[in-house]
Every structure is written in structure tokens, then in C-alpha cells.
Amino acid sequence: MAGNLELLESVLAKAKGEGRAALVGYLPAGFPAVDGGVRAVTAMVEGGCDVVEVGLPHSDPVLDGPVIQTADDIALRAGLRITDVIRTVAEVHAATGAPVLCMTYWNPVDQYGVERFAADLAEAGGAGCILPDLPVEESAVWREAAARHGLATVFVVAPSSRDERLAKITAVGSGFVYAASLMGVTGTRESVGEQAQDLVRRTRATTGLPVCVGLGVSNPEQAAEVAAFADGVIVGSAFVKRLLDAPDLESGLDGVRSLAGQLAKGVSRGA
């Protein structure tokens, strides 16, 4: 079974055709538990997310701030396995029909087996992988496996990336480019800043791929601000926080669904 790279591309193109940015939501698998996590990611789509990212919890998440680290720790302490992450992708895609990406650091993929991971993710209906710590120079084995199985390979670029580096990264990526809005880790912030707009401009000069901005977006106003210059707005920590702060799962799901709806209005307003 081929993965859903083409579905991802068509959903991003549809949003662009509607004159708006796509809303991309992130939650780690296994949080607050495996089944609850499936319901939570599904709730993001029900609320208005166009694309979702399922995180593969990691014990040393270099890009993730304290909110997502807390959720990862809860999942890992409960015994989460990669097969649970794949199941989450499969069940969310089956329930929603939305493109579902896996966001993961490289080590778990390498340990699981590159070909096996790509095949299992594609079989689950996954659309691709976001690999924040995989250097382009060392990515050929994964990219070849992903291409065989119809999966996107999404690389992360940062404000510190020089123009020549951006060109090197975007030349081999697929699906979209993940533009980190600032230097640092994930988390909600008061302002997304001008760095993100400059990074999107410089990235677009090197590629025709959509450029989606993440890190720091947590409310409709920020979503509208980013949507004015990016192809997609990525939100993670704010969704995780809704679940962490909720007194029970049902309240958390309502919070996630509500936030997705608010953010969806924000990205449309920013068009």
C-alpha cells in the first residue's frame, strides 16, 4: 500500500486555492493514553485542522519544549511503543480521511528499521515524516524508502539557515517545508516575530514547496498573523496544554476541538 503524500499535497493545494493557509495540528501519540490520543488527534481534525502530525515520543526531544516533553514523558512511562504510534496514525486517518504525518527524531526510525518503518507508516495510511534532527547529507536511505512507499520527507529549516543551506534542504524535501519561526524549542509565545516572515521569504526563493510555520503559535491572532505570509500554520504545544490542563479526557477533547475551531477561523482571517 502506498502512503498518502499525494493526499497531503492536494489538501495543501486546496487550502491555497481557497486563499488561506492550512491549519496543521500536532499531538504526541500515547497521550494521555493510546486510545485517548487517537481521540485527541481526531478531535483536532473535527475542530478544523487540515493536516495533523502524530509525534513519536522521545526521551531526549531536542526541539520540544517543556509542555510537549511532559506529554512525551507521560506516554513513555505508560509503555508506548512505535507500533502504538503507527496504530494512532492508522486509526486517525481511517476516522478522518485527513493527511497524517509522523513527527519523529531519527534514532527510533533507525532502530526500528528504515524500510520497515516506511512500509508500516504507508500501510497505516500515513502521509510522511517530519524529521527535525536528520541532516540532509545523511538522509538518502530514508528518502529512498519514503519515495518507494509514497511518503513525504519534511525537513525543518530555521532562521539561522543560510540561503545556500535552505536551497540544499528544499531540493530534496517533499510535501512541505517546516519553517521554525524562531531559534529555540516548541512552546507558546507572546509573539511569533518577524524572523518567521523573513525565513518564509528566503525559503520560498529556493522551492515551490509549501512553507508551513511552527513554534510559538497558540491563539487565533497569531495564527492569522502567520497565515498572512505562510502556506500553513503549525500548532502543537497549545493543543497539548489543553489536554494537560483539563480535569478529564472528555473536557480535554472539547478543549482541543474548540481550539482547532478558533485557530481555523484565525488562518482564514489571515488570508
At 219-264, the pLDDT tens digits run 999 999 999 999 999 999 999 999 999 999 999 999 999 999 999 9
∠32-33-34 over CA atoms, to 5°?
Answer: 130
DSSP class of residue 222 equals: H
Strands 22-28 and 232-235, sheet pairing: parallel
Strand partners, 128: 101, 152
pLDDT for 185 equals 42
**Which string of DSSP letters, residue by residue, matches 229-253?**
T-SEEEE-HHHHHHHHH-SSHHHHH
Q: How confident is the model at residue 195 (pLDDT cuts 50, 70, 90)?
A: confident
What does the pLDDT read at residue 64?
58
Query: Could you tell me the pTM of the whole model?
Result: 0.93
Residues serving a catalytic function are 53, 64
**CA-closest candidate to residue 165, choices 196, 232, 173:** 173
> pLDDT (tens digit, 9 = 90+) per residue, 92-151?
999 999 999 999 999 999 999 999 999 999 999 999 999 999 999 999 999 999 999 999
Mean pLDDT of the chain: 92
Question: Does 216 score more than 90 pLDDT?
Answer: no
Per-residue confidence (pLDDT) for residue 2, from 0 to 100: 85
Distance CA 254, CA 243 (A): 9
Q: What is the pLDDT of residues 45-75, one digit of tens each?
A: 999 999 999 999 987 655 556 888 888 888 8
